[in-house]
Structure 1
Amino acid sequence: MQIKRQWLVRGAGALISTAALVAALLPASPAAAVNVTFKAGSLNIYNGLTQAEFVHDLNLIASKADLIGLNEVGNRKAFLQDWAADNGWWLYSPGSTNQAGEALIAKKSMFDVLDKGSIFVCDTNGPGEVPPARYNNWVKYRHKATGRNVIHLNAHAVAGIDDNGRPENLPRTDCAEKQFQGIKNLAVSKKDEGQVIFSGDLNVDFSADRAYGYAKFPWKVFEANELPNLRSSFNLYGEKGTGTHGSRHIDYIYFWKRVESSQVMWMTGYDIVGGTNSDHNGIVAYFSISM
């Protein structure tokens, strides 16, 4: 009987050792991988605010996120340069007021800058007409904790381009349509260089766009298609709060979502940031990125 018990113990030990060996050889699942988190934010800070109101909104969104896309801030470029230098942030705000308006900032303690660029899209109502020209700006960062590259795209589409998801007010709508496709093309061109995030005020309401499904607006261009592709926080986690601009959800954060087997960065949730002086609320999305 003693001998039989010894063989049973030895047999169980062998089975455990075999199982452990097999488990060690299998690729780690996303849940088992070592992940590091960071937060990406977006805020359109209305350009008509007083300096004190602007500073309040800038500091508010900066207290909530590590990587941020700003809109309508071109007339504050000189201030932003000083603020970034004094507070440990990278700033990319190229060119004159219109181009500089879609600024990108990131914490120096968390990211290094590898590359950056700005792409002219179009004049909204024609050369020199109001509203002004549009640009798609981007920065390629190295996330220090993981060594992963993160490419942040930022843009601001012209207002007055949709009516409950339906396109209107040409030719400025033509310009916005070109900008949306330009963002998609830019994301595709950058996806093999790292993990892509896109933020911005797109001036198209998420739920209305999804319900109507106009072929050249964000829902169809970015989201209503198979993976890999861009996916927004609203798509993944639903609409929260009353909106980002009145009752409308028009300020977005997207990321390039891949098939699960090749995904190394995940959006894990988001929040709407209220309490701004601007006519927009901010939005902050939470990300997990593997080592």
Structure 2
Amino acid sequence: MQHRRKWLVRGASVLAGAAVLVAGVLPALPAAAANATFKAGSLNIYNGLTQAQFTQDLNLIAGKADLIGLNEVGNRKEFLQGWAADNGWWLYSPGSVNQAGEALIAKKSMFDVLDKGSIFICDTNGQGEVPPARYNNWVKYRHKASGRSVIHINAHAVAGIDNNGRPEDLPRTACAEKQFQELKNLATQKKDEGQVIVSGDLNVDFSADRAYGYGKFPWKVFEANELPNLRSSFNLYGEKGTGTHGNRHIDYIYFWKRLPDYQLMWMTGYDIVGGTNSDHNGIVAYFSIQL
């Protein structure tokens, strides 16, 4: 009997040690009873879709998230204005087609708008050249259930800038590198005003970027550094499905991850949203925010 007791104690110790190890690896989560939840989404809706296809994709992502960053939608601005008014969503889609393309929407039932802005970054191939200019758009919301400020930043980097994580030596690559750094700068600035979320089609594959580690691409600029800093769903919870664009994971949702004693908002998981008409899948991340 005594030998059996020792075995049970030893077994319990091993299990406890394993639990501590797992807890150290996974992101620290809040106590559920003291928090409210919401979902943040991102979808690049290809601008060549028909109106019916576009509407299907918009309704698909809107049915799965409460706060959404859209890309490539500048030519649908007028439609989005009517859709948002009819369906109870805030819309921020400033300026003409290029600037308006990185639109942000949020449910009026869950958020109030406190502030908003748009920052010109660069002309991708030179002034007036195609592809067009890039902007980082943002909205500061009050999350009604918690009373906390949530700043959502949305962007779309130009395509054709990386080759398996390696940068292409093109003018557009320099523009994208500047945009990534400006996204980081804006997130760093806004973190003092509230909880920060960054979304968008960044056109750099997560796994290839992490493996190669080019210093001016998203992995190094946003994630490969100590806290506090930006962390993506792919970093925290791994890559799911075949990708967000073909077999590449290029559409991101990040949040500003602080040291544990100062963290008031947590990303608790995410899903890839398939079934779109667009050439991109959507992504939806789950958040818990302290009351």
The alignment partner of 1:287 has SS state of: strand
Identical residues among aligned pairs (%): 88
Cα distance in 1 between the residues matched to 2:32 and 2:246: 41
Q: Which digits, 9 at most, give the CA deviation of each residue in 1:60-91, with x for residues without a partner?
A: 00000000000000000000000000000000
Alignment partner of 1:131 is 2:136: no
The alignment partner of 2:82 has SS state of: helix
Q: TM-score scaled to structure 2, two decimals? A: 0.90
CA contact 1:135–1:155 (8 Å) conserved in 2: yes
Alignment partner of 1:53 is 2:80: no
Instruction: Give 1:239's aligned residue.
Output: 239
Instruction: Give 2:90's aligned residue.
Output: 90
Runs of 4+ aligned structure 1 residues displaced above 3 Å come to none
CA contact 1:160–1:169 (8 Å) conserved in 2: no
Q: In the TM superposition, what is the alpha-carbon distance from 1:32 to its structure 2 partner?
A: 6.5
CA contact 1:40–1:66 (8 Å) conserved in 2: yes
Residue identity in the other structure for 1:114: L
Instruction: Give 1:7's aligned residue.
Output: none
Instruction: Give 2:177's aligned residue.
Output: 177
Equivalent runs, 1:216-227 vs 2, <5 Å = 216-227=216-227
Residue identity in the other structure for 1:171: P
Cα distance in 2 between the residues matched to 1:188 and 1:268: 22
Q: TM-score scaled to structure 1, two decimals? A: 0.90
Q: In the TM superposition, what is the alpha-carbon distance from 1:30 to its structure 2 partner?
A: 3.2
Q: Which digits, 9 at most, give the CA deviation of each residue in 1:177-208, with x for residues without a partner?
A: 00000000000000010000000000000000
Q: In the TM superposition, what is the alpha-carbon distance from 1:170 to its structure 2 partner?
A: 1.1
Residue identity in the other structure for 2:94: P
Instruction: Give 2:6's aligned residue.
Output: none
Choose 1 or 2 for highest CA Rg.
Answer: 1
Instruction: Give 1:152's aligned residue.
Output: 152
Cα distance in 2 between the residues matched to 1:290 and 1:199: 21
The alignment partner of 1:268 has SS state of: strand
Instruction: Give 1:106's aligned residue.
Output: 106
Aligned residues: 263
Q: In the TM superposition, what is the alpha-carbon distance from 1:169 to its structure 2 partner?
A: 4.0
Cα distance in 2 between the residues matched to 1:30 and 1:49: 41
Q: Structure 1 unaligned runs (5+)?
A: 1-28
Instruction: Give 2:204's aligned residue.
Output: 204
Cα distance in 2 between the residues matched to 1:179 and 1:54: 27
Over aligned residues, Cα RMSD in angstroms? 0.9
Q: Structure 2 unaligned runs (5+)?
A: 1-28
